[in-house]
Structure 1
């Protein structure tokens, strides 16, 4: 007599195996882990002669082997528009070069998500960094 999949592995394992077959990306989902800037990192900016501040900020995260690209998003806590909204990054690092106004936004949020198996995964946790002018 032939046994069904249910009979041969038991009800709990059969259900788990069936869900895994229907939702294969659930088991292999990739959520990047943020590395730098670290949580509550403080970046000190030095103004140039025209009253603005040029800055370089290095971002890094632990990527996923199956990811083909990453989406990095960074925005000021009180801003409407992000300073970074890059969806086509192919490595787990990014160097931002920008100009800031002294006395402007000081608290910034950033997060990353990975594109794998034809779809975007969940966002990473959110980290905050702070910038201050001398």
Structure 2
């Protein structure tokens, strides 16, 4: 039978802790951090006016199309025609794209509407290259 000779060196190794599980946990956390750190953020560019006088102007009486964002249901409206949700509203908006490019577009929003609704609409307008819009504001 082959045996190991007892020595002071072998007894020292049996008393040291095994750090293999600790290294496994460290590598798992490291991989998790590397995978979650590179999440691309989506952004939407919005051109804002440079001064307050440019920002606030009266609505002209020319031909315009009004899009309303409402809190609750119905959530959307074009020229007073109401739609329950984005899936119903988007085809109606797509049918109006040619008219939206030729006329002034006015966005009117309820104060309780979420930012998500506004971003959906602005992303749609940017996708269809509709650049000129007016956003209605209530005077303080």
- TM-score in terms of structure 1 length: 0.30
Larger gyration radius, structure 1 or structure 2? 2
Higher relative contact order (CA 8 A, sep 6+): 1
The structure richer in strand per residue is 1
- TM-score in terms of structure 2 length: 0.29
The structure richer in helix per residue is 2
